[in-house]
């Protein structure tokens, strides 16, 4: 049995190493992201980044200009920094700091740091000395727990899943996708848990050359949340409660009230795997069944299109 598993592991490693490398985009790319503090029931903010087709030279190095906006109008005054790639490492040079919700402002200006390193191997570590790690629980470093492959558009790309050296499984949502970046957002955070103030984030969309490479959760139409009443409302009450979490076989999802229409189970790449009709219900038991072990997102919607989320783990 051990020999069989070893053969499977070697074959998977060979398949991944044989994949075509997808470099980071240099122009005509957009990232749209959502930031919010779920424990405070606050409304989210959307932030957007774009690479147009403009370059600049800083310290004798060529960078592709990166623009930041909350309205998708990427004028020159919204230039926030430059991105360059060298040996599968993605570097960012901040020209201007960016203020996120709740006075979370970074990165520091005029100091280049590594955004991503897509040359990492299984078991390799990244440290806060080189990467901007935001780790609420384990400051210092993360290691590569899993490298697998995910379908983005029409091509498979490598996905790197990170965790603390003290853990036995990857951290929730600490994932990079080759040629796209972190599923938590392009610049924030590089990988890791929530910041100490509870700020959470999702990469909603990534488009390159007008091709939709990544689209998280079907509730975000055209890469923005445009349901009738706008965005997440505190009127929905507390977040979902999942017991137990992690789930081995089944778990109870409690959401309270009778005002919800649909509960969705979404994987970390934004694909909806299951939908449940929860009209006039206050709780629902869900089963792992044949789903792979890993991290998922539960999304509950009311009849006005507002929603709340909760993370869960299937063992």
- For all residues of the chain together, what is the average pLDDT? 80
Residues 6+ apart with CB under 8 A from 236: 41, 300, 302, 306, 307, 308
Asked whether residue 302 carries a pLDDT value surpassing 50, the answer given is yes
Looking at per-residue pLDDT, the higher value among 27 and 311 belongs to 27
Q: Given pLDDT bands bounded at 50, 70 and 90, which one contains residue 131?
A: confident
Residue ranges in 34-160 assigned as alpha helix (H): none
Q: Is the backbone peptide bond immediately before 31 cis, with ω within 30 degrees of 0? A: no
- Give the pLDDT of residue 180: 95
E strand or H helix that includes residue 273 = strand 272-277
Q: Given pLDDT bands bounded at 50, 70 and 90, which one contains residue 190?
A: confident
E strand or H helix that includes residue 235 = none
E strand or H helix that includes residue 86 = strand 79-86
**Most confidently modeled range among 72-81, 84-93, 267-276:** 84-93
Q: How far apart are the first and last CA of the chain?
A: 22
Question: Rg for the chain (alpha carbons), in Å?
Answer: 20
Percent of the chain with pLDDT over 90: 33
What whole-number distance in Å separates Cα of residue 177 and Cα of residue 182? 6
Q: DSSP 3-state assignment of 245?
A: coil
What whole-number distance in Å separates Cα of residue 305 and Cα of residue 307? 6
Q: DSSP 3-state assignment of 16?
A: helix
- Give the pLDDT of residue 113: 87
> How many Cα atoms sit within 13 Å of 204 on the Cβ side?
21
Asked whether residue 60 carries a pLDDT value surpassing 80, the answer given is yes
> pLDDT tens across 77-127, in order?
899 999 999 999 999 999 887 777 665 666 666 788 899 999 999 999 998
> pLDDT tens across 204-262, in order?
899 999 888 888 876 676 776 554 443 344 334 456 789 998 999 999 999 876 688 88
- For the segment 150-160, the average pLDDT, to the nearest whole number, is 87
Q: Given pLDDT bands bounded at 50, 70 and 90, which one contains residue 304?
A: confident
Instruction: Tell me the residue length of the chain.
Output: 315
What whole-number distance in Å separates Cα of residue 142 and Cα of residue 127? 7
CATH 2.60.40.10 fits 234-314, yes or no: no
What are the structure tokens assigned to 210, written together?
């007008």
- Give the pLDDT of residue 38: 64
Residues 6+ apart with CB under 8 A from 307: 219, 232, 236, 299, 300, 301
- Judge whether 271 and 285 are in contact, CB under 8 Å: no
What whole-number distance in Å separates Cα of residue 156 and Cα of residue 259? 39
- For the segment 59-81, the average pLDDT, to the nearest whole number, is 91
Q: Is 103 left (phi over 0), alpha (psi -120 to 50) or beta?
A: left
Residues 6+ apart with CB under 8 A from 178: 21, 22, 118, 157, 158, 159, 160
pTM above 0.75, yes or no: yes
Of 305, 302, 308, which Cα lies nearest the Cα of 200?
308
């Amino acid at each position: 049995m051990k020999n069989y598993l070893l053969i499977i592991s070697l074959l998977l490693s060979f398949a991944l190493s044989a994949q075509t490398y997808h470099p980071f985009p240099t122009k005509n790319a957009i990232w749209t992201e959502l930031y919010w503090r779920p424990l405070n029931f606050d409304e989210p903010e959307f932030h957007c980044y774009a690479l147009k087709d403009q370059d600049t030279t800083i310290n004798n190095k060529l960078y592709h200009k990166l623009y930041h906006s909350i309205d998708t109008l990427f004028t020159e005054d919204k230039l926030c920094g430059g991105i360059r790639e060298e040996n599968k490492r993605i570097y960012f040079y901040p020209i201007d700091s960016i203020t996120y919700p709740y006075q979370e402002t970074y990165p520091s200006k005029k100091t280049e740091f590594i955004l991503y390193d897509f040359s990492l191997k299984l078991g390799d570590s990244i440290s806060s000395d080189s990467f901007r790690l935001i780790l609420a629980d384990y400051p210092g470093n993360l290691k590569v727990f899993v490298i697998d492959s995910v379908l983005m558009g029409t091509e498979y790309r490598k996905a790197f899943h990170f965790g603390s050296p003290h853990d036995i499984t990857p951290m929730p949502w600490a994932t990079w996708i080759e040629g796209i970046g972190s599923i938590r957002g392009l610049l924030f955070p590089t990988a890791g848990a929530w910041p100490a103030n509870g700020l959470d984030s999702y990469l909603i969309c990534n488009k390159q050359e007008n091709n939709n490479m990544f689209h998280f959760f079907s509730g975000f139409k055209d890469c923005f949340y445009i349901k009738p009443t706008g965005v997440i409302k505190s009127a929905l009450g507390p977040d979902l409660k999942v017991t137990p979490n992690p789930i081995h076989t089944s778990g109870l999802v409690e959401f309270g009230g009778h005002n919800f229409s649909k509960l969705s189970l979404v994987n970390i790449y934004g694909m909806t795997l299951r939908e449940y009709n929860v009209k006039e219900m206050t709780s629902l038991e869900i089963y792992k069944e044949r789903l792979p072990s890993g991290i998922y997102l539960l999304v509950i919607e009311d009849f006005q299109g507002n929603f709340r989320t909760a993370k869960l783990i299937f063992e």
